[in-house]
Structure 1
């Protein structure tokens, strides 16, 4: 009897199925150090315990995307081991900060299925929840992924496409207990720009670029325990190239956004996202942000910005996202719609 795991194929999923993902993970300062080494990440709240305490938190939490990548990585052996591509995200919320010493585990519920017209693959929608060692909800999100079929002769299941919110409502964002930006130190944070300095419709060009190399991509993929075959095995794609993990592109773009959004400290909502085009080693990633919305919050001195973060490679022009046909331009790698907390 075979003891290895070939991964689930499209026909192995059913609506309402709940999958508990294996191997909980205890996070430490090591993950923070590696994250800041892999990406040009330097937001003050995640870099300094003293800065975080001045903002009402007990210490510097781990970067929000560390929690996201850890929870996401747990799901890969069960959801996307046989994926063609990870397609998008919606309805994401961060409920609690994660600190060194916290242990995260996750589960996913299948909420949608649709076979592709070619009969060789299908799209699977799942709602994933990451909880800590106390069973408290840390992060949740919906994602959808294209998965290969094992048996092409099997009939297509009845299509079920979930209705997803276009955005997380500002009043549904969860603010960390005690967060207070009343005495926020802009000089230590690196920029003077606050909530009131940003206007809806404004485009921020983050200027800098990072050339993605195989070395850090492979280290990042292993760090988050992402076992998807397209990221490791060059024979798994017809072009013989390893696909750069989409989460790597997200973190590169988020880190690049520091230049112009240094005070956008905490990610609290994920409204939507798409990996528009593949990224490969050698591509240079640049980023720009559009301000989509603004909201007040109940926390002292804290406002919320809804941002569209776009990562692109050579040829990308800030503000240009889609062609006349409505499709993403070929240089666009990532289109991410998310909420952040920023001093007012």
Structure 2
């Protein structure tokens, strides 16, 4: 009897499948320390218990993206173990902060399938939920993945492409319970720029860059228990290179955005995202942001800002797409998300 698992291939998915992912994971302060070691992350709310308490939270939560990586990683063995690439995201919502001691598990529902014209791969759409030890959802997001077929002659399933919101409205999003920036300390946060200081259409060059190291990428991907073969086994790509986990690029770009957006404290929504081009060890990641929108929230001291975060690997700042609508070859990531910021 075969006891090993080669992972699911495209023809193994069916619309409506609900997959309960192994293995639950209890997070600790160690995850925060490792996250801050891997990325130049230094937003005050995630660095200081005292700063978090002054902002109405019981203690400093786990970084939003660290929690995302844990939930995402749980889904990989069932969704993207045989992936060619993770293609995009939509309708991401952070529903509840994650604190040290919380235990997270993941559940996914297959909501879309589309075989590619080559017949060798197909795109699988899933809605994944992260759930804590109290059976409370802490986040939810949709992602779509290009997955290999086991048998190229297997019949194509009926094409189902889900209708997804291009942008989450502020009413779709949740401000963490108790969050209050009424006593916000600008001196401790790192920059003086508040919600009112940002203008729609403004672009911010985050200046700094970080060269991706093979060892750090491998450590990060193992930390999140992401088992996708393309990140570890160089023989799974024709070019013989390990593909850098897209979440590693997201976290690196978010950390770099501190320079200019130090007070963009918590991510509350993910409108969409695309890994525009592959990233490999040796690439130097830089980032720029554009302010897409602003909104009031039900908490007077807290405003919401919609940002586009672009990670790229050259000096061509503020360039995004070519005349034909395709991404510039140096663009690695195009992420559209909502954050909260003090007024």
Could you give the per-residue CA deviations for residues 137-183 of structure 1, whole angstroms, max 9, x where no partner exists? 10000000000000111111110000000011111110111110011
Could you give the per-residue CA deviations for residues 208-242 of structure 1, whole angstroms, max 9, x where no partner exists? 00000001000000000000000000111010000
Q: 1:179–1:300: 8 Å Cα contact kept in structure 2?
A: no
**Distance (whole Å) between structure 2 residues aligned to residue 331 and residue 128 of structure 1:** 30
Which ranges of structure 2 fall in alignment gaps of 5 or more residues? none
**Distance (whole Å) between structure 2 residues aligned to residue 197 and residue 39 of structure 1:** 27
> Which residue number corresponds to residue 78 of structure 1?
78
> Which residue number corresponds to residue 299 of structure 2?
299
Deviation at 1:315, TM superposition (A): 3.7
Q: What TM-score comes out, normalization by structure 1 length?
A: 0.99
The reply on whether 1:336 has 2:330 as its aligned counterpart is no
Could you give the per-residue CA deviations for residues 76-112 of structure 1, whole angstroms, max 9, x where no partner exists? 0000000000000000000000000000001100000
Q: 1:91–1:165: 8 Å Cα contact kept in structure 2?
A: yes
Aligned positions of 1:105-184 closer than 5 A: 105-184=105-184
Q: 1:246–1:275: 8 Å Cα contact kept in structure 2?
A: yes
Q: Give the RMSD, CA atoms, in angstroms.
A: 0.5
Aligned pairs, how many? 343
> Which residue number corresponds to residue 201 of structure 1?
201
> Which residue number corresponds to residue 325 of structure 2?
326
Stretches of 4+ aligned residues off by more than 4 angstroms: none
Q: What TM-score comes out, normalization by structure 2 length?
A: 0.99
Deviation at 1:316, TM superposition (A): 2.7
Deviation at 1:314, TM superposition (A): 1.4
Which ranges of structure 1 fall in alignment gaps of 5 or more residues? none
Deviation at 1:48, TM superposition (A): 0.3
**Distance (whole Å) between structure 2 residues aligned to residue 316 and residue 210 of structure 1:** 15
